[in-house]
Amino acid sequence: MQETELSLTEQARIRREKLDEIRKMGLDPYPHDFETDHHAEEIRNTPELLDGEEAERKRVRIAGRIMTRRIMGKAAFFNLQDESGTIQVYIRRDDVGTDIYNTLFKKLIDIGDIVGVSGFVFKTRTGELTVHAESFELLTKTLRPLPVAKEVEDEQGNKVTYDAFADKEHRYRQRYLDLIVNPEVRGVFEKRSRMIREMRNYMADMGYLEVETPILQPVYGGAAARPFETHHNALDMTLFLRIANELYLKRLIIGGYEGVFEFAKDFRNEGMSRFHNPEFTQVELYVAYKDYDWMMGFVEQMIEHVVKALHGTTKITVGKNEIDFKAPWARIPMLDAIAQETGKDLSGMDEDAIRKTARELGVPVDETMGKGKLIDEIFGEKVEAKLVQPTFITDYPIEMSPLAKKHRSKEGLVERFELICNGKELCNAFTELNDPVDQRQRLEEQARLRSEGDDEAMVVDEDFLKALEYGMPPTAGLGIGIDRLAMILTNQESIRDVLFFPHMRPE
């Protein structure tokens, strides 16, 4: 809803009045551009900018927000914040002119305004690197005050902070403000970006092809999840936002590519938590002629490489835990992990016996859950949170994995692994099922579970089954949750801390 004059705060009204005054001065409060040649950090890292007499020094042009200022009569200092950091600027009336200094800078400029400065670099008597402004331009007049923190001392001499923009809800809803007034947050997202870049380069250097597959799909598949549904008007058909890109990437393996990967936005119409957002990012990789054992080696080598690239070591601190990503990592069959933790051996049990065991263990289950989902619930409740160091949980029951190939030597199991770290799943991988007859039977069993009330069970994708009948080579497949991996590698406790714009409930 558009704000009325009555709904504006006093500060917002004052800023609008200042905007009018700036225009009356003949100045454009929103000019089209300003050419910069330096950033704050670059100035700090270029000592030769101080070489020679001041009049002979190289001039710099920088732009950014005014975050603090101290006016001392005919001169002033202010801190200018750009993408790289903050640097002090010294401005004098005699250098920039009476109108610019006395009227524009002193009376009409506010904290948060974006300005451009050109001048030379020097050090103050206290040794602080500073830009001496020879020209000063307003680039953007802000109409709302920044929530800048104020720090004062109480009667006991303790520092007390007021007006800090620290409330998580507000920070998530107004990420733009969070990035301005809590610039350390930028480091989290820059590290996330570098993490993705390192993974992308690692896979590309292996010779695998980065591809794109459809987000809008007539049949959703590749995971057990509820989809978002939409309607295409021109085609008059229902479409779904993809829950995974697996089945399309496998089609490309069928088509003759031997290694393909995609960084994908996927969407699942499910609950939200510290570890779940309805829109999330994952990378999926499929490599022909390989199996899940090879893929385990690939995953631990790639993630070890990424951790070292980001941190310079394989050991990082996450919350209270020190986690070491040095390969190789532990590998434990799923049923063995459950037995070790609970004392219950589920191998050979039928669905009713597993449901009874789950209830004995205090795991909430219901009658709609099949054997696979029951085992998954027991593992999630009793085992997963206790796996802190990176661990491969392997060899899942066949009921849990309708797209994975049957284990070559263990009856009733499939060749699948999940990577668990810091108590959460980070990736899922299979020796992919490439027998079209077996795959049809598995998907039809999923359809049966769906008819009995499991709304996360998969649907039958006839086109994918047709593609399989043309022949898919032995293949290893992998999906890594980018958001969760970023949480660990940046030491963040919530998925919302590694998403620029997480989904929020309406205010």
Sign of CA dihedral 485, 489, 490, 494: positive
Structure tokens belonging to residue 27 = 């100045």
Q: What is the pLDDT of residue 3?
A: 53
Average pLDDT of the chain? 94
Tell whether 425 is in a known binding site: yes
Q: What is the pLDDT of residue 292?
A: 98
Q: What is the pLDDT of residue 177?
A: 95
Q: Distance from first CA to last CA of the chain, Å, rounded?
A: 14
Query: Which of 275, 346, 200, 329 lies closest to 498, judged by CA?
Result: 275
Name the least confident of 82-96, 200-214, 282-296, 436-450.
436-450
Residues 112, 145 contacting (CB under 8 angstroms): yes
Residue 344 to residues 144, 339, 381, 496, Cα–Cα distance (Å):
61, 5, 14, 36
pLDDT digits (tens, 9 = 90+) for 177-211: 999 999 999 999 999 999 999 999 999 999 999 99
pLDDT digits (tens, 9 = 90+) for 31-72: 999 999 999 999 999 999 999 999 899 999 999 999 999 999
Give the neighbor-by-neighbor strand order of the sheet with 330-333: 209-210, 259-267, 279-288, 475-481, 424-431, 413-421, 391-397, 330-333
Size of the chain, expressed as the number of residues it contains:
507
Residues 433, 477 contacting (CB under 8 angstroms): no
| Helix, strand, coil % in the chain, rounded to nearest 5 | 35, 25, 35
Residues 243, 223 contacting (CB under 8 angstroms): yes
Report the alpha-carbon distance of residue 56 to residue 78 in Å, rounded: 24
Name the least confident of 77-86, 90-99, 453-462, 472-481.
453-462
All structural domains of the chain, each given as residue ranges with its CATH number in brackets, are: 5-140 (2.40.50.140), 150-181 (no CATH), 185-329+389-498 (3.30.930.10)
Residues 430, 476 contacting (CB under 8 angstroms): yes
163 pLDDT above the threshold of 60: no
Q: What residues have CB less than 8 Å from 385, skipping those under 6 apart?
A: 423
Q: What is the pLDDT of residue 388?
A: 97
Mean pLDDT score, 412-428: 96
Residue 327 to residues 261, 296, 300, 302, Cα–Cα distance (Å):
23, 10, 6, 10
Cα dihedral 276/278/282/287 (nearest 10): 110
Name the least confident of 104-108, 404-408, 447-451.
447-451
pLDDT digits (tens, 9 = 90+) for 251-293: 999 999 999 999 999 999 988 888 999 999 999 999 999 999 9
pLDDT digits (tens, 9 = 90+) for 121-132: 999 999 999 999
Q: What is the pLDDT of residue 1?
A: 43
Residues 316, 322 contacting (CB under 8 angstroms): yes
Q: What is the pLDDT of residue 160?
A: 60
Name the least confident of 225-234, 249-258, 455-464.
455-464
Mean pLDDT score, 421-438: 97
Amino acid identity, position 64: G
For residue 230, which phi and psi values (nearest 5 degrees)? Answer: -140, 180
pTM of the predicted model, to two decimals?
0.91
Sign of CA dihedral 218, 219, 223, 227: positive
Structure tokens belonging to residue 149 = 């923190």
Mean pLDDT score, 308-320: 97
305 pLDDT above the threshold of 50: yes
Residues 295, 208 contacting (CB under 8 angstroms): no
Residues 296, 328 contacting (CB under 8 angstroms): no
Name the least confident of 103-107, 173-177, 206-210, 398-402.
398-402
Strands 60-72 and 75-82: antiparallel
Amino acid identity, position 374: L
Residues 313, 459 contacting (CB under 8 angstroms): no
